[in-house]
Structure 1
Amino acid sequence: MKSELQHLEITDFKTHSGVVYISIPLSYHVYGRELGTAPVVLVNHALTGNSEVTGRFGWWKELVGANKLIDTENYTVIAFNVPGNGYDNFLIESYKDFTARDIAEIFALGLKQLNIDSLFAVIGGSVGGGIAWEMAALYPDLIENLIPVASDWKSTDWLIANCRIQEQILLNSSNPVHDARLHAMLCYRTPESFKEKFGRSLNSELNMYNVESWLLHHGKKLEERFELASYKLLNQLLATIDITKDGGSFLEVASRIKSNIYIVAVDSDLFFTAEENKAAFLALSQLKKNVYYSVIESVHGHDAFLIEFKQLSELLSDVFDTELIKN
């Protein structure tokens, strides 16, 4: 499935830190049905992702496409690039100017330019799910189905601490993107995942353990395709998810969200833990009847949302049942 990268411009945008940007380019892909002819699904990418969600190189092509979970024969699928992720060659050097909430607002302004005033669903993994939460908090009537996957409504102390280590590596390493990726991979997976994958096996050619060569491979691959400025910005966004930032408790803010909320956790996630997600569900379910909780069972930790496609499709099959939306 091919789709041309398209472009909008967000003008005179004031960040929540008070910095005004005269112009911010916002690029995006549209897949499936033509705008205005079908329910719209917005897909939010994770830290090193982009708007290419399906097709040959799509990072979620197992979930988005013809006859997939999010069926492009029946939905219009939109995916924005987080401004500064580098996919469209636009970079933001002053990364501290932005929070996850700013990106949520920019996405909403992009939808407005496209004359989209309602969304059938917003789904996102990791920081993309956090941005989805922020969009729902800012615009409680916008989204019919809110689906944060391997994510949460806030950055926990543990997540903020890891993001701080990432930032220190990015600021101080002589090979920053490469080295930060090595550390990040330890947070994206689990000890059990490494044991299953490597079993302490050796790479005789490189005279090191296979887990070491695997880490170095991932560091090199990201260094080749991802800009330092982009990594700094997305890491900053990951650390600043908080729908209560403008005041009010979680329950006060979340109870105003009209969306059906489908929280999807990963039982082994070290980044956005299942315990935190379940606590949010249990608290919110006392006030809202249309909140649901499901769990991906996997040894692979946070990265399970990029691996366990069959489970994710099964868990969300009722949400995207196209028979329910056909006239």
Structure 2
Amino acid sequence: MDRLPRWADLALVPLISLLLAAIISALVILAIGQDPWEAITVMVQGSLMSAYGWGYTLYYTTSFIFTGLCVTIAFHAGLFNIGGEGQAQLGGLGVALACLFIPWPHWSLALIGASLAAAAFGAAWIAIPAWLQARRGSHIVITTIMFNYIASSLMIFMLVDVLRPPGQQDPSTANFPAVTHIPSLDELPLFNLIFTKPVPANISLLIALAVAAGVWVLLWHTRLGYQIRAFGKSEAGARYAGISATKITMIALMLSGALAGMMAINNVMGEAERLVGNSASGAGFIGIAVALMGRNHPIGVVLAALLFGFLFQGGAELGMWTKIPIEMRIVVQGLVILFTGALDMMVRMMLTRIFALFRNPRPVGAA
């Protein structure tokens, strides 16, 4: 049976999928009476051609790395965590409680404490769906989707009735103490040579990259990672080998929830410096597309997160400087998801046939 070379499967398939998504996006822009070349020019200039643009692109990228890794680690256990959005919101609650009610002496200690709180709250929020999956057979896709809605309602209650300061109309917490301010990239040595003005991207970008490296080590260089991947490939085989299905399900999903919760370091502690409603801003769902496009590998997740960071910032620039509505970025994201996810097999089959033609040329004079 003909198979694609590994390099083509990892690099060529996503690139062609992106190209197809770009072509369809251009046709959509033409259909609404706008200029596709103007659109791509504005997106590139607004997100990649200035330190300001990079600051926002990397800010979005950071969130997508966390949520993409969240989906990745669950996927390798054969599980599909759709609840990253709710877990990220609960992670924000953990960050807010740690920053508001613990008197930290220095931002570095506050960062460690808030990171642990975010991870703990995200892991705790998925613990019930994980247990239902492991012990009762409840489908993790259904339960995590339901918990997104519960998380949203819980956050409204906390922000309106519990954490909102007296006399404040905005459903949000008070601003965090100044000591909990973590450095943005323009405040870090070396980075401040590039980012000379304040940008939202912050030190959590470096944490996200370190976490991506840690996930790679965990999955491919530890016994636990081997058990997770073995369980994901064949649950029956893993059980036969003595791997506990309950243990692996609980560990993989709680690690997944912890990674989603840690996204709050970036947007709650780093950018807003307070907890507001809908703090996740859809990043939990975008993480699914990031993981799919990144082939559920940490390196691929980082690259895919950068692409979606570009789309987010570029889409905002479209809405600001052109007549193309900002919602166009949602259309582009949807097309990217369509071609890299749902139609991925179509692209792979097309390339497999093309490679087969070069691998097995017809003999001269064949009928």
Structure showing greater relative contact order (alpha-carbon pairs closer than 8 Å, 6 or more residues apart): 2
TM-score clears 0.5:
no
Alignment TM-score, normalising by the size of structure 1: 0.25
Q: Which has the higher strand share?
A: 1
